[in-house]
Structure 1
Amino acid sequence: MPHMIRQRNNPNSPNIRKNGPKWKHLQNRSEAVNPSNAIEYGLSFPTGYTAFKVLLSARIVAAIWSHITDCDETFNYWEPSFVFLYQGHYLLYGKGLQTWEYSPKYALRSYTYLLFQLVPALIYNAILRPERLLLFYFQRCLLAVACSVCEVYFYKSICREFGIHVGRMTLIFQLFSAGMYISSTAFLPSSFSMYMTMLSIGAWYHRKYELAVFLTAISSFLSWPFAALIGVPIAYDMVFMRKEIGKFTKWCLISCFIILLPMIKIDSMYYGKWVIAPLNIVLYNVFSSHGPDLYGTEPWYFYLLNGFLNFNFVFLSALLTPIALWTVSKIVSVNARNPACLPYSLSLLPLYLWLGVFMLQSHKEERFLFPVYPMICLCGALTVDAIQKIYFRLFVRTGQHYLHHTSHIVFPAVFITSLLGVTRILALYKGYHAPMDTYMELNKMSAEGNLPTLNYFNICVGKEWYRFPTSFFLPNDRWTLQFLKSEFSGQLPKYYSQTDGTSVIPDYMNNENKEEITRYGNLTSCHFLVDLDIGQSTDYEPNYSSQVEKWVIVKSIPFLNNIKTSKWVKAFYIPYIWERNAVYGTYNLLQARKMRVQPSKY
């Protein structure tokens, strides 16, 4: 994506294409560049259509090659979606795994959220009846399109509020960041809230307050109630700064009527009782005696490390944005910012409010920061822009525009952060994509007719249960996932009841993450077994791959050994250094010797 500043004194200069299909050109002297100043500026930037094409290319790459990074995505969203698509009148012909959150006794999750996202996939499945794996990637590609549309709207709103230079830097940071690569096509409420954040904040920057309130409500009710935190600055702007409490109240009520009431109706129908899922999840996480801390706690700096891995120096820059903007305000003319713009302290508050609240929580997950990932890119861009202005003021002072004299700052910043983002993405693919490739082997074997004629197949997992990439990767409904006892001592999911599964209270489920031994199958009933071999074993996690008298390795794929690989090596893929220092185990698909099966040709 080119970035050019073209100087011109004559607005009719033939060197500038005013109506080019891909790029718009603007020019200025010293203040932030805004799209409305088209006659005065000479700065190149991508149009919305060009931005969409570039973003969509990146998001389709993520849809196809990114792996599932969180078992919550598999068991709380892909699995119940599989049930919707493949079983009975409420689902079409298969079976899916159910977590305790979907038990009618607790009802923490919303089926409306799943239905809302699955409508195109339901139509696709009803018309063409594709293979399960195709349906999985079809849904991912839909998420890629949705994310790209939201990103374009966010980009255009940034150009309006903060100037084109900040907008195009934000666009590049989003395009190459590992964080956006992971989150953009994840089938998670936090990813959906990220989409809604871009739309609601974008509407706010466009001064479309009614739309901003409505989109915040969609995010809060339909996907994740805690996303309402992002709407607090919008509410403050409307109620206290603009004195529009009537409009704010009106649209809150409209949002409840349009979103929450149908949601209650749909969820209650599936659960078989009166349910307000967003309220249940708030009550459990905030007011219960145990809450989310049962699922692990992390130190206060967890998000700092994770933020650097996913956004590298962009994240560090975003943390410094308030200081950078304060410094600019002290040394740059106050006329450099349009007084019609929102105060920085308000327009950027969603990011710092979110970080402040979630860093204080003991239970931390990477996905919890997804909703503010675009804001990280925006604030990182603002910091780079501020550094350019400071440099111009201190060391140049004269000239037409600070951008003419500070390209040596922005180009290295964009190049280094983009390069680090790509190397992180490559590290994730080369190190951790093996589970998805391993389960694809089952589909190849089934398609080639290399499996015996059996009524059912049991595919077993022990310590690798949390890397199971969903039932969409199993060839057909004759396949069943079976858990084996491992060192993990928490609660595992179980299959939905085959009759009215969503409304039946399942046996042996609890909300305290207590182990349920009824989840475990017998090793002797396994036809296939998926296991990671890193040369270690325990009583509950033997090295199945070494038991050659019982198992045959059908497929073996390298998988990064996190224990033996230095954290500095595995963080980013650096050619030669990675090959010399990364230590791999093998991710193996094992076949029981009692069953004669031919491996795939590929």
Structure 2
Amino acid sequence: MAPNQRQRQLFISKKELKKLNGRRFSKPEETSDTGLIYPGVDTAFKLLLSARFCSAIWSHITDCDETYNYWEPSHYLLYGSGQQTWEYSPQYALRSYMYLLIHMVPAKLYHYLLEPNPVLVFYFVRCLLSVGCALSEVYFYKNVCREFGIHIGRLTLVFLILSSGMYIASAAFLPSSFSMYLSTVAIAAWYGRRYELAIFATAISVLLGWPFAALLGLPIAMEMLIHKKEWSKFIKWVIISGTVILVPMIWVDSMYYGKLVIAPLNIIIYNVFTNHGPNIYGTEPFSYYICNGFLNFNFVFIGALWAPFGLFLVWLIVPARPRDRLCLSYWYSLAPLYLWFLVFFLQPHKEERFLFPVYPMICLAGSIAIDTIQKLYFFIRTKLSSLHIAYHYLQYTVHITFFAILICGFLGISRSLAIYKGYYAPMEVMIDTNKLGLEREISKDININFCIGKEWHRFPSSFFFPSNNWKLQYLRSEFKGQLPQPFLVHENATSIIQPYFNDMNREEPTRYFSLDKCHFILDLDIDIETILEPNYSRLNDNFTIIRSSKFLNSARSHRFFRAFYIPFVSHKFCTYGSYNLLQNIKFKSIPLLLKEKNIKSS
């Protein structure tokens, strides 16, 4: 075979591509026209769903915004009690109750039919989120295979399953995760040339999820309006989508808030058109997303950043057959990811969840980066030696695929295990707290004050309380921002403006509770204390430890081994504290009071 012929085999021919695009992805394992073995849609969905259920069960809540802005008001909708943040005050009305209801209606049905423990409702919702995420991912995988080829598609699938970033984001009850599901569907529909679905999914993502996800729909809109000139179809589906989603959303939110409310508009106004914007909640350097991206996706993220340069090199030096005209150019199809990077990397206020909507595209771009490395490697070797002849570049570079999956997969699983082993303790202790309330038969006639101080941001939600008579209380700590307060016990509580709320994250002293009235305290013991944050676990005259779990002390642990778990090795380089549930000694007789009361009444 002549060199030019070998080089042209870097890409699948147009005829082969058309055959591949017409293939049904249904069998558990199929072989493409180029001899590549890949999972069918059914198999891919089972693998993704298994990984997502692992997330639902074993991932902890990584962002306190998830607890207080979504789980707590959801607990109020189901059980009539929960914490209210300033975003849910009718004075500001930044959050949509419609978003909560689409999750809580199935939860309410589950609660009505089976009357489960609230903890089971919590995990039921998480499992629903996992199913939604897996469905969006398998649709993405199917269309990536058609748009970019089997090799890139199967690499993308592997990285979706094994990355710790998807482990964290997939079961999170957050608008950014919801936008990840719907934006993934929209981009996949775009790759499949189903523009109506792409517009509708984008509209759901933007209006019900996160308004800023509209940025991901911009390349789709540009192709329809500028390249295809389909103005009428675009305008028609924008109007249909807006009407179907926005009208019931405004109706529901206005009913709950007691006034006309357009929540997506309010959150845009607050974040973009106020003097301070979201920056009052802290800013991070440019390197924040680089470090966070590597932790969550390891070399896949580095590859995603390198992919445009790699594609340029392939285009520049490798004389290969151009992509089929039916396919979008690489630059266009990856535009949503790099547009998102450009905007959010430059924002002073950075949070991990802000990148959730493009997590699947990071896996795609990382796969494309590996593919470009294989093409460049094959081209250089065929230039250096005529002995290295292969029909297709993938046949000669399979070792690169193998090592990429091995290394990136190992680091992804290692990171997920490190997160679980280091930080799952609050969930374990709160599950035990739920059992404690049931086992000890604590009276439901009195309020149980459950107190949190410095650990307010790790509290997983009121779904872990045994019953509604358990009340969350805050102790003063070094944190000087604004804490939530309980929803009022009132028929129209969501429409009543409570005092002591502000939109500047100013500390509200009215939130704090007296220590001596606490029945239980959730506390972390890592041998560090201050005047405002005493080590409650060591106050043996006042409190006793009744539940405990190991929690990673990151400040005293090796940077690598606290980030990635290596069996039989990590424990030698990591230090752990104790995550404790404490009971006030003077209230230890609470379980007995109920029994005594029953004896006297009999």
Cα drift, residue 104 of structure 1: 0.3
SS in 2 for 1:335: coil
Cα drift, residue 399 of structure 1: 2.2
The amino acid of 2:579's aligned partner reads Y
* Contact 2:179–2:210 (8 Å) recurs in 1: yes
In structure 2, the residue matched to 1:240 is 226
* Contact 2:300–2:408 (8 Å) recurs in 1: yes
The amino acid of 1:79's aligned partner reads E
How far does the alpha carbon of each residue in 1:119-162 deviate from its partner, in whole angstroms, 9 at most, with x for none?
21121112111110000000000111111111000000100100
Q: Output the TM-score relative to the length of structure 1.
A: 0.92
* Contact 2:521–2:583 (8 Å) recurs in 1: yes
SS in 2 for 1:263: helix
2:126 is the alignment partner of 1:126: no
In structure 2, the residue matched to 1:76 is 69
* Contact 2:140–2:188 (8 Å) recurs in 1: yes
* Contact 2:375–2:393 (8 Å) recurs in 1: yes
Cα drift, residue 214 of structure 1: 1.1
Matches within 5 A, 1:91-106: 95-106=81-92
1:262 is aligned, of 248, 259, 283, to 248
| Distance in 1 separating the partners of 2:65 and 2:268 | 17
| Distance in 2 separating the partners of 1:598 and 1:194 | 46
| Distance in 2 separating the partners of 1:474 and 1:387 | 52
Q: Which has the higher helix share?
A: 2
The amino acid of 1:135's aligned partner reads V
| Distance in 2 separating the partners of 1:228 and 1:19 | 30
How far does the alpha carbon of each residue in 1:547-574 deviate from its partner, in whole angstroms, 9 at most, with x for none?
1000001112111112212322211011
Cα drift, residue 482 of structure 1: 0.4
The amino acid of 1:589's aligned partner reads L
2:148 is aligned, of 157, 162, 167, to 162
The amino acid of 2:546's aligned partner reads V
How far does the alpha carbon of each residue in 1:8-36 deviate from its partner, in whole angstroms, 9 at most, with x for none?
xxx9xxxxxx9994111123xxxxxxxxx
Cα drift, residue 396 of structure 1: 3.2
| Distance in 2 separating the partners of 1:454 and 1:526 | 16
* Contact 1:591–1:597 (8 Å) recurs in 2: no
CA, structure 1 residues 470+20, in 2 after alignment: closer, same or farther (shift >3 Å)? closer
| Distance in 2 separating the partners of 1:582 and 1:255 | 51
The amino acid of 1:123's aligned partner reads L
How far does the alpha carbon of each residue in 1:204-225 deviate from its partner, in whole angstroms, 9 at most, with x for none?
0000111111111111111100
SS in 2 for 1:532: strand
Cα drift, residue 118 of structure 1: 2.2
* Contact 1:451–1:597 (8 Å) recurs in 2: no
| Distance in 1 separating the partners of 2:485 and 2:247 | 30
The amino acid of 2:467's aligned partner reads N
In structure 1, the residue matched to 2:130 is 144
How far does the alpha carbon of each residue in 1:27-86 deviate from its partner, in whole angstroms, 9 at most, with x for none?
3xxxxxxxxxxxxx2111111110000110010011000000000000000011111111
In structure 1, the residue matched to 2:28 is 22
CA, structure 1 residues 107+366, in 2 after alignment: closer, same or farther (shift >3 Å)? same
In structure 2, the residue matched to 1:471 is 462
2:357 is aligned, of 352, 364, 371, to 371
| Distance in 2 separating the partners of 1:75 and 1:106 | 16
In structure 2, the residue matched to 1:409 is 400
Cα drift, residue 452 of structure 1: 6.0
Matches within 5 A, 1:556-595: 556-595=548-587
2:488 is aligned, of 464, 477, 497, to 497
SS in 2 for 1:45: strand
Q: Which moved more, 1:436-445 or 1:310-319?
A: 436-445
2:437 is aligned, of 436, 446, 454, to 446
In structure 1, the residue matched to 2:307 is 321
1:530 is aligned, of 513, 522, 540, to 522
CA, structure 1 residues 20+537, in 2 after alignment: closer, same or farther (shift >3 Å)? closer
In structure 1, the residue matched to 2:414 is 423
SS in 2 for 1:588: strand
| Distance in 2 separating the partners of 1:46 and 1:126 | 39
| Distance in 2 separating the partners of 1:333 and 1:113 | 50
The amino acid of 1:24's aligned partner reads E
SS in 2 for 1:563: helix
* Contact 2:126–2:171 (8 Å) recurs in 1: yes
In structure 2, the residue matched to 1:187 is 173
* Contact 2:25–2:142 (8 Å) recurs in 1: no
| Distance in 1 separating the partners of 2:153 and 2:504 | 45
Cα drift, residue 442 of structure 1: 1.4
How far does the alpha carbon of each residue in 1:333-389 deviate from its partner, in whole angstroms, 9 at most, with x for none?
342522221011110011110011001111100000000000000000001011111
2:222 is the alignment partner of 1:230: no
CA, structure 1 residues 476+19, in 2 after alignment: closer, same or farther (shift >3 Å)? closer
Cα drift, residue 244 of structure 1: 1.1
Q: Which moved more, 1:582-591 or 1:121-130?
A: 121-130
Matches within 5 A, 1:295-314: 295-314=281-300
Cα drift, residue 597 of structure 1: 5.8
| Distance in 1 separating the partners of 2:529 and 2:63 | 24
Cα drift, residue 450 of structure 1: 5.7
How far does the alpha carbon of each residue in 1:262-303 deviate from its partner, in whole angstroms, 9 at most, with x for none?
111111011000000000000000011222111111111100
Q: Which moved more, 1:248-257 or 1:426-435?
A: 248-257
| Distance in 1 separating the partners of 2:159 and 2:35 | 22
| Distance in 2 separating the partners of 1:346 and 1:451 | 61
In structure 2, the residue matched to 1:332 is 318
Q: Which moved more, 1:246-255 or 1:391-400?
A: 391-400
The amino acid of 1:229's aligned partner reads L
SS in 1 for 2:493: coil
2:49 is aligned, of 46, 52, 56, to 56
How far does the alpha carbon of each residue in 1:298-322 deviate from its partner, in whole angstroms, 9 at most, with x for none?
1111000000000000000000000
| Distance in 2 separating the partners of 1:480 and 1:432 | 24
In structure 2, the residue matched to 1:4 is none
In structure 1, the residue matched to 2:595 is none
Cα drift, residue 544 of structure 1: 0.7
* Contact 2:450–2:521 (8 Å) recurs in 1: yes
Q: How many residues align?
A: 563
| Distance in 2 separating the partners of 1:83 and 1:533 | 31
The amino acid of 1:22's aligned partner reads P
| Distance in 1 separating the partners of 2:26 and 2:547 | 52
* Contact 1:452–1:596 (8 Å) recurs in 2: no
In structure 1, the residue matched to 2:537 is 545
SS in 1 for 2:586: coil
2:198 is the alignment partner of 1:212: yes
SS in 1 for 2:572: helix
| Distance in 2 separating the partners of 1:349 and 1:591 | 54
Cα drift, residue 330 of structure 1: 2.0
Q: Percent identity?
A: 55
SS in 1 for 2:286: coil
In structure 1, the residue matched to 2:508 is 516
Specify every segment of 5 or more residues in structure 1 that has no aligned partner in the other structure, as ranges. Answer: 1-10, 12-17, 28-40, 88-94
Cα drift, residue 456 of structure 1: 1.7
In structure 1, the residue matched to 2:7 is none
How far does the alpha carbon of each residue in 1:524-566 deviate from its partner, in whole angstroms, 9 at most, with x for none?
1100001111111111000111110000011121111122123
CA, structure 1 residues 524+481, in 2 after alignment: closer, same or farther (shift >3 Å)? same
| Distance in 2 separating the partners of 1:525 and 1:457 | 9
